[in-house]
Amino acid sequence: MTDSTKTLCPYCGVGCGLEVSPPAALGKATNRDSQGTPIWKVRGDKSHPSSQGMVCVKGATISEPLTKNRLRYPMVRDSLNEEFRRVSWEEALEKIADRIQTVRLSQGADAICMYGSGQFQTEDYYVAQKLMKGCLGTNNFDANSRLCMSSAVSGYVQSFGSDGPPCCYEDLDLTDCAFLIGTNTAECHPIVFNRLHKHCKQDRNAKMVVVDPRRTPTAEAADLHLAIRPGTDIDLLNGIAHLLMRWGYVDTQFIDDCTANFPAFAEVIQHYTPEVVARKCDIQIDDLETAARYWGESQRVLSLWSMGVNQSSEGTAKVRSIINLHLMTGQIGKPGAGPFSLTGQPNAMGGREA
C-alpha cells in the first residue's frame, strides 16, 4: 500500500513518469516548500520505461503551481465587458451543452470544432473523438501536435509510407553516433539528453554531432558542433551524403533491397562537393569531413531532431534529407540507429492517431 500516485509529467515530449504524494500522510513528516507551505511531493518513477526515475527541474517542481493562484472551479461571463463570476459545475456544463446544441441546430454540426493538444492522453483523445464524431456528427477534431510535427509526419510518410518514428528510447543507450540537428535537446528534452550524454560519456567511442547555428548547451556537450548558416541544413546533409558516397560508406545491399530511385538521389548529391557545401553552410571542410567520417565509420547512427527542423521552411525536405542518409547507409531498423524526430509534447503521436 502506498500513498503516492503514478502519473506523467505533461511539460515536454519526453513524458517522464512521476510519483506524487500529498503533503501530509499519517505517520510521516509534512512536505513543505522553502517558505514552509505544505506542498505535494514529486519524485521520478523508477519503473517508468522512458525516464527510469529521472526528472528534470521542470518535472521536479511540478507541484509548486498547485499551491499558487490556479483556477479550481468554473467561472463564466456573458460578455467580454463583464467580470468573471463563479458558477457550479452543473451550470457550467449546461451552458456549454446549450451553446453547442444551439450552434448545431442553427448552423449544422460542421460549425463546431474541438482543438486538443499533445498533452491529452490517448484515452482522452478517444473520448473527445467519440463526442465529436459519434455524438455530434462532425469530423472537426484535431490537435496541435499535427501542426507541431507535421513536417516530420510528411517526411516519414513520403519516405516510408508511414509516419511513426522507427526508433525508441533504448536506442539512446546503444548508438555509436548521435547526430542532433535543429534541436536543443539539453534544454528542451532534458531527460532524453541526460540519457544520451551519460551513454556518450561511458562509451568513449560514441560520438555526438550537433548541428545548430547557435552555441546551445547541447552544442557545448558535442564532440563536433557544426554552426551552419541558418537555412542550409539540406546543403549540409547532402554534403555529408556526397562524402559518404565518395568514400564508399554506402550499404549497397540495403539500397538494392529496401530503397527505390537511388540513382536519381546519387545524381543530386554529386553536386554537393565539400567546397560548395562548406561555402554555403559557412563551415570548415575539415568539420564537414569529420561529421561524414563519424557517420560512415559508426555501426549504429541515431539522428535526433525537433522543431529547428520540423518548424522551419522546407521542413519536410529536411526530414527526407536526414532519412536519406540513413537509407543510403542502412542505418535503420536495428538497435541504436534510425531517424528519430523528438516531439514537443508527450502524446503528439496519440493526437494524430486517435
- Angle, helix 274-281 to helix 233-246, in steps of 10 degrees: 160
- What is the total count of residues that contact ligand SF4 (CB under 6 A)? 13
For ligand SF4, give the closer residue by CB, 52 or 158.
52
Spatial separation of the C-alpha atoms in residues 327 and 264, rounded to whole Å: 14
The owner of cell 456544463 is 93
Spatial separation of the C-alpha atoms in residues 319 and 342, rounded to whole Å: 12
Instruction: Give min distance, CB of 43 to ligand SF4, in A.
Output: 11
| Residue 196 lies near ligand SF4 (rule: CB under 6 A) | no
Instruction: Give min distance, CB of 342 to ligand SF4, in A.
Output: 11
- The single residue among 56, 128, 245, 309 that binds ligand SF4, judged by CB under 6 A, is 56
Instruction: Give min distance, CB of 266 to ligand SF4, in A.
Output: 40
How many alpha carbons fall within 13 Å on the CB side of residue 84?
A: 8
DSSP bridge partners of 306: none
Amino acid at 7: T
Element (H, E) at 179: strand 177-181
Binding mask 35-54 for ligand SF4 (x = CB under 6 A): ----------------x---
- The single residue among 14, 112, 219, 337 that binds ligand SF4, judged by CB under 6 A, is 14
| Residue 190 lies near ligand SF4 (rule: CB under 6 A) | yes
| Residue 116 lies near ligand SF4 (rule: CB under 6 A) | no
Amino acid at 72: R
Spatial separation of the C-alpha atoms in residues 347 and 50, rounded to whole Å: 13
Collapsed DSSP state (helix, strand, coil) of residue 96: helix
Instruction: Give min distance, CB of 55 to ligand SF4, in A.
Output: 4
For ligand SF4, give the closer residue by CB, 180 or 191.
191
User: Residues in the site for ligand SF4, rule: CB under 6 A?
Assistant: 9, 11-12, 14-16, 51, 55-56, 58-59, 190-191
